[in-house]
Amino acid sequence: MHESSNAALLLGAGTAICGNSAIVATAPLIDAQDDEIVLSIGAVNLYGLLAMLAWPLFGSWLALSSESFGVWAGTSIHAVPQVVAAGFAYSLDSGTLATLVKLVRVACLAPMVFFLAFVHARRHAADNGNALLTVHYARLVPWFVWGFVALSAINTLGLLPALAFRSSNAWGSGDEAPYLVHLDSLFTSLANLLLCMDMAAIGLEVNVRQLMAVGGRALIAGLLSTATLGVASLLLIAVLL
């Protein structure tokens, strides 16, 4: 596959689905080079960060409702942490809805990866005289997708317990109420901390000077795809909501 096609496909996957995760999952299936991966990640992260900062301002200017903004952020901002930050910056309801909508987009990663693996296997067979290429489809689904499904099911069924801690003071009366730690709240706080770390890591991956020097066309493609996605999503929201 031609290098420009590889870069375009990586940019498309990162913009349409879930940023870095989609790019990293797609890259080995199309034999992408390291510089194409780095360039695509940089461009997607840059415009995702700009959208994260700009969308709440545009939403206020357009007087979008919390529902409309949540759907817009979830369908048009690239990475999950960026969607969460933009959504909750607008309102609590929009942040919750934006996160849900974005996770639906993330779920699209699995069928896309399966499709690309199938296409890659057929191309490999055609290029090598019908030589068979074994594809382990179960390994193509990123591990975090399985973790998300498992924890969602556990939390939905109410299986996350609350841990009770009592004072270890030997002189106590023993009548003190136990200190309860709800695991769902604990995991939510941990998730917020990890999201902050993820946002910092994404920022550290963006080197605008390097992108300007070697990725002019990638920057233009990323800008056009981000703008197109944002406008198209707004138009659909205006028609359907």
pTM of the full structure: 0.72
- Rounded CA-CA distance 188/185 in Å is 5
3-state secondary structure string, 19-44?
A: CHHHHHHHHHHCCCCHHHHHHHHHHH
Degrees, nearest 5: CA angle 94-16-81: 45
- Rounded CA-CA distance 229/72 in Å is 10
Q: What is the pLDDT of residues 3-38, one digit of tens each?
A: 567 778 888 888 988 888 888 888 877 878 877 887
DSSP letter at 78?
Answer: S
Q: What is the pLDDT of residues 153-203, one digit of tens each?
A: 888 888 877 776 666 555 555 556 666 777 878 887 887 788 678 767 766
- Is the model's pLDDT at 70 over the cut of 90? yes
Average pLDDT over residues 103-129: 77
